[in-house]
Amino acid sequence: MTEKTEITSWLNDTYREVGRRPVPEGEARTILIRRHYPARLVDVWDAVTDPAQLAQWFLPVDGELELGGHFRIEGNASGEILRCEAPNLLAVTWDFGTGPSSEVIVRLADVSATEAALELEQAPVPDVIEMDGRRFDPVLNDYDTGLFGLGTGWELALISLGRFLRGDPISNPAAWEEAPEVQNFAVRCGEIWAQLAQEEASERP
């Protein structure tokens, strides 16, 4: 399978949603991504929870990796492990930079003996954040800074997960992200998320 075929498939076969759900403080904006993997449920669970495997497709993770413990992702986020219900649900707080804290939930389910569904939800996602004196929607790609929006960023990570699960991990993630087909995917993916964000905003009272 070529990179181009894989990325075209990801654009067409991934479910994406920008929505709202109740939280103790009122209502929160959410993003949700759902994708099927040709792998056993237990193998997907191990890939998203075992630090040795996470380091091969995502980033190195350390800390107190148990329920109630705190984790740190190298050069990225940190947080607390809120729920860990193997092999179906992982929920953590997500603290990144100076932005507000959110929650990331990963849900896994069997589709068949050799296929699993992964759903990733993040909330609350603010409508606007400020970084380095600039204000922007964190869901959207920011072409001035080169930052990917949350949806696009998570999708690139989950493509890497798919490569890892099929035994073809990305050996140089930085170079892979700079490849023309991946950059093209990021732009097209960002356009989809921008449209979803616009639709969600237009439906609010």
Its pTM stands at 0.92
pLDDT tens-digit series, residues 97-136: 777 799 999 999 999 999 999 999 999 999 988 877 888 8
Domains annotated for the chain, with CATH where assigned, are 3-202 (3.30.530.20)
Determine the Cα–Cα distance for residues 37 and 168; give it in Å rounded to an integer: 14
Mean pLDDT of 12-34: 90
pLDDT at 4 over 60: no
Our measurement of the distance from residue 46's CA atom to the centroid of its chain's CA atoms, rounded to an integer in Å, reads 17
Q: Smallest Cα–Cα separation from 191: which of 141, 153, 156?
A: 141
Amino acid at 38: P
Mean pLDDT of 86-98: 92
Position 144 scores a pLDDT of 78
pLDDT tens-digit series, residues 68-81: 999 999 999 999 99
Above pLDDT 90, what percent of the chain?
A: 74
pLDDT at 2 over 90: no
- DSSP string covering 8-50, please? HHHHHH-EEEEEEEEETTEEEEEEEEEEEESS-HHHHHHHHH-
